[in-house]
Chain A
Amino acid sequence: MAQIKNRLTPFFENITFDREDNELVLNFGPQHPSAHGQLRLMLHLQQEQIVKAHPDVGYLHRGMEKMAENMIYNEFMPTTDRMDYIASSSNNYGFALAVEKLIGLEVPRRAKVIRMMLLEINRLMSHLFWLATTALDIGAMTVFLFAFREREYLMDIIEGYCGARLTHAAIRIGGVPLDIQDGFIHQLRSFLNKLPQNIKDYEDLLDTNRIWLMRMEEVGTISKDMALSWGCSGPMLRASGFKWDIRKEEPYELYDEVEFNVPWSDKGDNFARYRIYMQEMRESAKILYQTIEMYERCVKEGQTDLMAHSPKYISAPKLDIMTQNYSLMQHFVLVTQGMRPPVGEVYVATESPKGELGFYINSQGGPYPYRLKLRAPSFWHTGILTDLIPGHYIPDVVSIIGTTNIVFGEVDR
């Protein structure tokens, strides 16, 4: 087919070819394999060294906050999957928790345990994905293959639970839709039993690897002040000398009942972040072992509820809907019109694998949120590149973007 003539002229708005100061402007992205999404970085170079970095985002902007204002609360749940699509249950959970706080719901214990299992499996999936892609960017292909193999097992478990591998929508406002399937615990246990050896394999390949150390140590150092000022959270904050994990400090679900450590470091460089991710995988495994025990105790004690009982906001169980007139009416109203949370506002922060994932909801008593603000950690972890990259060299950009663990579904929302 012949080329259709159009008006898009070659576009060099940022590139000045003749400059007194000998500065070269390099466009990194928006399509770049190591940018982990649609990140455009405009890098001003003097020789090989970067003197100015200007991240440009918005290539994946879908207007989720706008969509939320035009959807009933339950309708928005699958949209949250598309934020951090590497660990989508954690987004579902953040939103569900915010709405539950708004209407003051208490979730049944068994649902809480299942939610914690899902959250920690998501954290493991996300960290394995992080390790795989970052190692691949730096050239460690073997680690990529190993980590993706393990992630595959976790995705199989999740697929057995909710039918989806990436966009789970596995959590509902008020609980979880389903009990875990037969074989879930066996599969999870056998995965967890193998995991320490797997993590050791990765570490054997990386920890003393000369190339890995050269690319990681003393590269991309974030000072304490910078981490605070840029609103860093999650591993980015913990690598810079703050022992701050929302699961520990402002516990939600049953995180105050499980035992786990919060790995942190005061180095602030790429290697510190790498160590924290590895350590967090071990802590997640520890939490998962404990949730299995909690789940088995729930089964023994005969706690079968998976959704909160709150006829004003939450549909009754399917059995009731099918057999009882009033439950059916309630369900009909909740599906067609949507729940109407009380008038007020709430900001709820949860510890997603990437950092502090916050949902601010302003409700005016209608079935649609009046304003919903998504506080995605990656947004500021991208912004910090402005201050972090100058002074480094081009190859360091790749490893810095890798360890910031940004996901563009979340940056652009």
Chain B
Amino acid sequence: MRAYKAKDDVQAKAYYTDRFYVSPQVPKQEVDTDAVFSSDLASISAKFEVKESFIQVGQMVVYINAKDIYGVLELMRDSLEYTQLSEMSAIDWLAKDNTFEIFYQMLSMNKRKRIRIKYFIDNGQAVDSVEKLFRCADWSEREMFDMFGIQANNHPFMKRILMPYDWQGHPLLKTYPLEGDEFASWYEVDKIYGKEARETIGPEIRDTARVDRYDSQRFARLGFEVPKGTNITGNEAKNEQNYQEDGGVFLVSKFDKKTSVIVDDPQR
């Protein structure tokens, strides 16, 4: 019987894991070990429900409810001096429990602190846009939509940003294969020549390092050049190529490999 492979996560998997292996954890600290973080957390939890909070690798992580995100970020920007949104995006947990985890990476330059605000949404649920608070969220939320298909409510221009507008599928989902789906692999052919040209053109060659040494149409073999399109066997004699005209060029002196010097010392 063929081994079962999950369809909802087609990413690369470890091919072997010791069955007694237990992953260690990145250590977490209590929030009250840091005075600045604990006062920030107190101000947030006074107004909003905080589900979980801890400090990991020097940054506080706060889990909140999805509906509170605009309020929390507004409070952090206006009262707690977290004036910059460094980054925001999503993590795909669809295979685990059909949710997405959204994170917002906040920076306070006055306090020299970074906080990560996180919450979970269900598959298909939209997030509230924070574009009114931080203009950079305009592009981040578009990228998140492009990559995961998560819509943002009240966003001024909810369109794809990196992929073409007519693309199908969202590339960073774990269900999306690394080499792309069928739509992706035939995108250019279908668009330019039509579906019926697929057989004539054939699939895309994805090995970028592939060089056919008998192909004299596209490749010049340095030192063994032949006229374009010549049938070759691979036994041509090596010909010393001279890339400068024999008669010389006006005002240009002849380049001589043997007598020339490479200047590698700026103080020469």
How long is the Cα–Cα vector from A279 to B24 in the complex, in angstroms? 45
**Is B13 interfacial (CB 8 A cutoff)?**
yes
A375 (CB) vs chain B CBs: closest residue: B87
B267–A193 CB distance below 8 A: yes
A66–B139 CB distance below 8 A: no
**Is B70 interfacial (CB 8 A cutoff)?**
no
- Besides A231-B87, A362-B91, 4 more A-B contacts (Cβ < 8 Å) are A150-B266, A249-B112, A346-B56, A383-B135
The size of the chain A interface, using a CB distance under 8 A, is 66
B192–A66 CB distance below 8 A: no
A368–B109 CB distance below 8 A: no
A343–B89 CB distance below 8 A: no
On whether A67 and B178 interact (CB within 8 A), knowing A231-B84, A343-B24, A383-B138, the answer reads: yes
B contact residues around A61 at 8 Å (CB) = 162-163
Question: A343: which of B25, B83, B171 is its contact (CB, 8 Å)?
Answer: B25
A contact residues around B265 at 8 Å (CB) = 187, 190
B contact residues around A153 at 8 Å (CB) = 264, 266
**Is A319 interfacial (CB 8 A cutoff)?**
no
Question: A70: which of B11, B56, B84, B134 is its contact (CB, 8 Å)?
Answer: B11
Interface residues of A in 171-196 (CB under 8 A from B): 187, 190-191, 193-194
Interface residues of B in 72-93 (CB under 8 A from A): 83-87, 89, 91-92
B contact residues around A395 at 8 Å (CB) = none
How long is the Cα–Cα vector from A367 to B146 in the complex, in angstroms? 27
B12–A70 CB distance below 8 A: yes
On whether A347 and B114 interact (CB within 8 A), knowing A69-B11, A70-B11, A229-B136, the answer reads: yes
A contact residues around B86 at 8 Å (CB) = 231, 347, 349, 356, 358, 375
Interface of B with A (CB < 8 Å)? 11-16, 21, 23-28, 56-57, 59, 61, 83-87, 89, 91-92, 103, 105, 107, 109, 112, 114, 116, 134-136, 138-139, 147, 160-164, 171-172, 176, 178, 191-194, 264-267
Question: Interface 1/0s, chain A 58-87, versus B by CB < 8 A?
Answer: 100101011101110000000000000000
B139 (CB) vs chain A CBs: closest residue: A383
How long is the Cα–Cα vector from A380 to B84 in the complex, in angstroms? 12
On whether A242 and B109 interact (CB within 8 A), knowing A61-B163, A153-B266, A343-B25, the answer reads: yes
Interface of A with B (CB < 8 Å)? 6-8, 57-58, 61, 63, 65-67, 69-71, 101-102, 104, 150, 153, 156, 187, 190-191, 193-194, 226, 228-231, 242, 244, 249-250, 337-338, 340-349, 356, 358, 360, 362-368, 370-371, 373, 375, 379-380, 383-384, 386-387, 412
A contact residues around B25 at 8 Å (CB) = 342-344
Question: A190: which of B103, B171, B172, B266 is its contact (CB, 8 Å)?
Answer: B266
B266–A230 CB distance below 8 A: no
A243 (CB) vs chain B CBs: closest residue: B109
A57–B162 CB distance below 8 A: yes
B contact residues around A340 at 8 Å (CB) = 14, 21, 23
Instruction: Show 5 A/B contacts (Cβ-Cβ < 8 Å), sorted by A.
Output: A6-B192, A342-B26, A344-B57, A345-B26, A347-B57
B57–A346 CB distance below 8 A: yes
Question: B134: which of A229, A344, A375 is its contact (CB, 8 Å)?
Answer: A229
B contact residues around A58 at 8 Å (CB) = 160-164
A193 (CB) vs chain B CBs: closest residue: B267
B contact residues around A102 at 8 Å (CB) = 26, 57
A386 (CB) vs chain B CBs: closest residue: B138
A101 (CB) vs chain B CBs: closest residue: B57
A103 (CB) vs chain B CBs: closest residue: B26
